[in-house]
Copies of this chain bind each other. A is one copy, B any other.
């Protein structure tokens, strides 16, 4: 399985998921599986959220809280869960607000090492 298959697998496995993306810590997208933008500019929003992932990483490291494993943001129209894949990459799943958050966290946890193995 290539990157894209793994990303597609996350979207297919999680109720309410509309996108899953592999991204560099620099905010540059490596690959994305996207089924619905939900009327949002989802790609642009995911890039913005990657800045938050980096900021969380820096804040946690500066305060000896260790590396950031996961970050999630719930807005009125979107639920996103991001998980670190390697020091240089992370992945993000985007869900409708009523999507299965627990399953998304689980799928990212099991998929991240698979992506890491292919990087």
Contact = CB atoms under 8 A, between A and B. Distances in A.
Interface of A: 39-41, 44-45, 48-49, 51-52, 55-56, 59-60, 62-78, 102
Given A45-B60, A102-B102, 9 more contacts: A40-B65, A45-B59, A48-B59, A48-B62, A48-B63, A51-B55, A55-B55, A69-B74, A71-B71
Nearest to A41: B63
Contacts of A40: 63-65
- Interface majority SS on A: helix, strand, loop or mixed? mixed
A76 B84 CA distance: 12
Contact of A60 (B64, B68, B71, B75): B75
**Which of A40, A52, A62, A75 has the most chain B CB atoms closer than 10 A to its own CB?**
A75
